[in-house]
Amino acid sequence: MRHPMSLILLLTVVALSRCSPTFNWRELSLAPASLAALFPCKPEPMVRQVNLAGHSLSMTMLGCQAGGASFALAYADLQERAPAAEVLARWRTLTLGNMAAAPEQESSFLLAGVGPGVRVSARGKRPDGSAVAAQALWFAAGTWVFQAIVLADKADTALADTFFAGLKPP
């Protein structure tokens, strides 16, 4: 009799594990940056001081992993200390340089209610030397600068499109 109960329990656990979604999309408000973001998993926050284009900035970073991809959003308030375009260009160069990557595709990107940005698709290397595909977006809203990025073994444009489309004014 114990054997059938063990089998039922095992089948129940397997069935329930299949019910959990790979991507559990949730919207977060990024106060005081006046932006909302849609993440496919619960992001872990971190704040650190960074130097971008010669300016020390307090940068907030949110990141998580789901479905074999890493999703991250970083943002900082320039407080009118530097032109956003200069900071974003330097940020893009640093990000791609850290990955030893060159853009495969670069295009302008318009976020509804926020403004224009630059979207880049690139292939590079992780710190351990393994290959990584990146889909990244840099943009400014007021005095705030943002970077959204999806990193995975291979590029998934549809997944990046969903993540980027979730960036909007609250």
pTM score, whole prediction = 0.84
Count the residues in the chain. 170
- Burial label for 119, CB within 10 Å (0-12, 13-18, 19+), is buried
Q: Are 96 and 103 in contact (CB under 8 A)?
A: yes
d(CA 102, CA 62): 24
Q: Which H or E run contains 73?
A: strand 69-77
Whether the per-residue pLDDT at 16 is higher than 70: the answer is: no
Whether the per-residue pLDDT at 133 is higher than 50: the answer is: yes
**Would you call the peptide bond into 103 cis, given omega within 30 degrees of 0 as the criterion?**
no
Mean pLDDT of all residues in 101-125:
90
Radius of gyration of the CA atoms of the chain, in A: 19
Whether the per-residue pLDDT at 146 is higher than 70: the answer is: yes
Q: Where are the alpha helices (DSSP H) in the chain?
A: 2-19, 84-98, 157-165
85 or 7, higher pLDDT:
85
Whether the per-residue pLDDT at 140 is higher than 80: the answer is: yes
